[in-house]
Structure 1
Amino acid sequence: MIKYDVYKTPSPREEEPDHFHARAVSKGVITYAQLKTDLEYASSATPGDVSLIMDGIVSQIKRHLSEGESVQLGDLGTFSVGISGPNAIKRKAINATNLEVTDVYFRPRKKLIRDINRKAKFESTRLKHHSIEYSDIEIEALLTDFFKDHSFIARREFESLCGLTRPTAVRRLKMLCSGKYPLLSREGPRNSSIYFPTPGSFHTAHTRQISSDDIGEVDDSRFITR
């Protein structure tokens, strides 16, 4: 049973009415150990066999990703890596010695979405999870913590991080990218933009280097919809 909450999306124009939308509410996290236990009860395999197979799959995924390959895991989807390096003025300044893997992307297959939809049932939650009105200082604190482990943020990640509706997230991101001293810079096409901290903001020291393929898939990965 998927729990959902209904929240209001403020209209960007005063003369237009606000709209209401549904958002999934997570009931918790199923751990790796829990998955192993579930497989043990659902099959005749021993706990040792289950651990051997699952740990082996994880190990092989890591190996292939480290070799620059994308990994398709059955009907679930595809894993791929993202890299980062210095923000250089000259092309030659970026080389194999100053690059590192900073992200792993996951792109679900359409069949996965269809299969989940066929089995999914929905129920309204009694608890309310509406957007929290963070101040500018609180938003900056959340982003500072986020950029300790990530070199850029996508709009949907920003929504999840701050608990904002899409219009509110777009408005706040626009504010962060504007002004005499913007804190973020936007890159990529409008429908799949990603946002980098500007030099010196959020205590960051490097900027993400990405390919055009990354920009096309960033908005559908690395985030969890609540």
Structure 2
Amino acid sequence: MAEYDMQELTLPNEDGKRILYPRMQLYGQKDLEYIADKVSYATSFTRGDIKGLVQAITEEIAHSMSEGYSVKIEGLGVFTPSLGLRKDKERESGEEGAPRRNAASICLRDINFRVDKELLYETAGHCTLQRAQYKKCRRSSQMFAPEERLERAKEFMKKNTFMSVAEYCRLTGLLKTTAANELKAWAAQPDSGINYRGRGTHKLYVLRPANA
């Protein structure tokens, strides 16, 4: 289940009132290794097959755009190259006699992506939202000392049996990498009261038995 919080717009509306809009909280990023592992588990393809195919598709998309084409991948979206001027180069004014920009002054600035509606609908169909109990900070939160974060984690596991890294992020405001490293450190200390089960992306944290 995904979580959201309400973000305030930088500028107020015409009446000077605050305007809030919903923003999904993101607690990390899943990479190709994770996606390949999940797809491999559900199909007959190996992780190597999937990663190799994605790499080949990526290279072909890049090659096609470099030749002046946009690329549409059904169910994913449309990739379109976008040009810009190199650093310190002025724009053409279009006026008669004014300097003109040649190819050496122009570079690929970005690649624009327009999502396919099928992907949007597929994502929306799986998305169940709830309002976040804790507002996520952009940087690792300093609102709790390490000992306080440890106690919050242990209280959570008393009620819920186990805890994921994402749940620890929500409890403490830490970013994913910082949270994962801290939990790993806690689990390595027998007197912390925390242990873990599983490994990799399937690792979950549990309370260490009192006599362990």
| TM bracket, shorter-chain basis | 0.5 to 0.7
Deviation at 1:94, TM superposition (A): 1.3
Structure whose alpha-carbon radius of gyration is higher: 2
Relative to structure 1, is the Cα distance of residues 19 and 56 closer, same or farther in structure 2, using a 3 angstrom cutoff?
A: same
Deviation at 1:4, TM superposition (A): 0.2
Partner of 1:136: none
Establish whether residue 58 from structure 1 lines up as the match of residue 58 from structure 2: yes
Deviation at 1:127, TM superposition (A): 2.1
- Amino acid in the other structure paired with 2:63: R
Deviation at 1:129, TM superposition (A): 4.1
Establish whether residue 126 from structure 1 lines up as the match of residue 127 from structure 2: no
1:1-226 → structure 2 map (5 Å cutoff) = 1-9=1-9, 11-13=12-14, 17-85=17-85, 86-89=89-92, 93-129=100-136
**Number of residue pairs the alignment of both structures matches:** 131
Partner SS, residue 56 of structure 1: helix
Q: Distance in 2 between matches of 1:89 and 1:48?
A: 48
Q: Report if aligned partners of 1:71, 1:78 keep a CA contact under 8 Å in 2.
A: yes
- Amino acid in the other structure paired with 2:90: N
Q: Distance in 1 between matches of 2:123 and 2:114?
A: 15
Structure 1: tracts of 5 or more residues without a match: 132-226
Q: Report if aligned partners of 1:7, 1:130 keep a CA contact under 8 Å in 2.
A: no
Q: Distance in 2 between matches of 1:100 and 1:21?
A: 36
CA RMSD between the two structures: 2.6
Asked which structure has the greater RCO (Cα within 8 Å, sep 6+), the reply is 1
Q: Distance in 2 between matches of 1:41 and 1:69?
A: 35
- Amino acid in the other structure paired with 1:101: L
Q: Distance in 1 between matches of 2:101 and 2:40?
A: 48
Q: Distance in 2 between matches of 1:58 and 1:72?
A: 12
Cα deviation digits, residues 123-164 of structure 1 (max 9, x gap): 222221489xxxxxxxxxxxxxxxxxxxxxxxxxxxxxxxxx
Q: Distance in 2 between matches of 1:125 and 1:90?
A: 50
Deviation at 1:98, TM superposition (A): 2.2
- Amino acid in the other structure paired with 1:127: Y
Partner SS, residue 30 of structure 2: coil
Relative to structure 1, is the Cα distance of residues 129 and 47 closer, same or farther in structure 2, using a 3 angstrom cutoff?
A: closer
Partner SS, residue 5 of structure 2: strand
Identity across the alignment (%): 22
Relative to structure 1, is the Cα distance of residues 40 and 96 closer, same or farther in structure 2, using a 3 angstrom cutoff?
A: same
Partner SS, residue 69 of structure 2: coil
Deviation at 1:90, TM superposition (A): 6.0
Cα deviation digits, residues 14-53 of structure 1 (max 9, x gap): 5x64344321111210112222222221211123322221
Q: Report if aligned partners of 1:3, 1:27 keep a CA contact under 8 Å in 2.
A: no
Deviation at 1:88, TM superposition (A): 4.0
Relative to structure 1, is the Cα distance of residues 127 and 88 closer, same or farther in structure 2, using a 3 angstrom cutoff?
A: same
Instruction: Give me the TM-score of the superposition, normalised by structure 1.
Output: 0.51
